[in-house]
Amino acid sequence: MRALTSLRIWLIVALTCAGLWIAIRALPAGAPAEAGNPSQQSPSEGIFTPAHRSVRAAISDFLNQHPSQPAQPIAFPHKVHLARGLQCQVCHTGVDQGPDAAIPSVKFCMSCHLVIAKDRPEIKKMAAFQARGEDIPWVRVYDYSASAHVRFNHAPHIRAGVQCSSCHGDMMQQTTAVRAVNLNMGYCLGCHTQRQAPVDCTTCHY
């Protein structure tokens, strides 16, 4: 009898958790953050805030739930461009000079595609963004929660010879970018320890 009661309790708990998760998934995701800007910044003031754009975004962030390959407005084929000799720094300017890897504007992309492959469907979609005077609303693949207080800086990693593939995976095999590794504290500390890089808190948390 006791075993049956215990089973019922666990069944109720499991069904409750499943129901909550379904409800969370059904919540609106909220407006996407602008490319290159943390989602936890106030759009009007640009100040730090731990607020999220929706309940679903807050819970997903708390549970560290992130899509491994976010849907992008343009199916940009990294492997095609890399196979033609373009290097990461051509499009992601400033990656070796500062914290951010810039995301190219639609104007930058169309400087080539006004002529190259202009009849392909994805290029036509890109041209439509430019015609409307809009930039492409790329979706961030990697970002740190505001509660982590992490300020990642690309430049020192590039100078130290860390390959882009260490975090981003083999881009020669990817179309739209994927979340190749989970950039949690364990992963970063493991890499720093292996390379004899600083591991004190203020290296990343500042």
| Number of CB atoms found within 10 A of residue 147's CB | 10
Identify the three-state secondary structure at position 172.
helix
Residue 48 lies in a domain: yes
Residue 120 lies in a domain: no
Cα angle value 106/110/113 (rounded, 5°): 140
Instruction: Report pLDDT for 140.
Output: 85
Residue 121 lies in a domain: no
Considering only 71-80, 112-121, 136-145, 166-175, which range has the smallest mean pLDDT?
A: 136-145
Q: How far is CA 137 from CA 25, 82, 129, in A?
A: 23, 22, 9
In whole angstroms, give the CA distance from residue 48 to residue 39: 10
Report percent pLDDT > 70 for the chain.
Answer: 82
Radius of gyration of the chain (CA): 21
Taking all residues of the chain, what is their mean pLDDT, rounded to a whole number? 81
Identify residue 161 by its one-letter amino acid code.
G
Residue 118 lies in a domain: no
Residue 14 lies in a domain: yes
* Per-residue tokens: 68: 């491994």
Residue 186 lies in a domain: yes
pLDDT tens, position by position, 141-191? 887 877 778 888 999 999 999 999 999 999 999 888 999 988 888 999 999
Helical H segments across the chain, by residue range:
2-26, 55-62, 78-83, 88-91, 106-113, 121-131, 154-159, 165-168, 185-194
Rounded to an integer, the average pLDDT of 110-126 is 92
Domain that holds residue 68: 2-24+32-103+138-203
Structurally, the chain folds into a number of domains equal to: 1
Q: Is the pLDDT of residue 74 over 50?
A: yes
For residues 12 and 27, which has the higher predicted lDDT (pLDDT)? 12
In whole angstroms, give the CA distance from residue 180 to residue 3: 43
Residue 116 lies in a domain: no
pLDDT tens, position by position, 16-65? 877 776 766 666 554 444 434 444 444 444 555 566 677 777 777 777 67
Instruction: Report pLDDT for 60.
Output: 74
Torsion of CA 22, 137, 177, 92, to 10 degrees: -150
Residue 127 lies in a domain: no
Confidence of residue 196 (pLDDT cuts 50, 70, 90): very high
Instruction: Report pLDDT for 40.
Output: 42
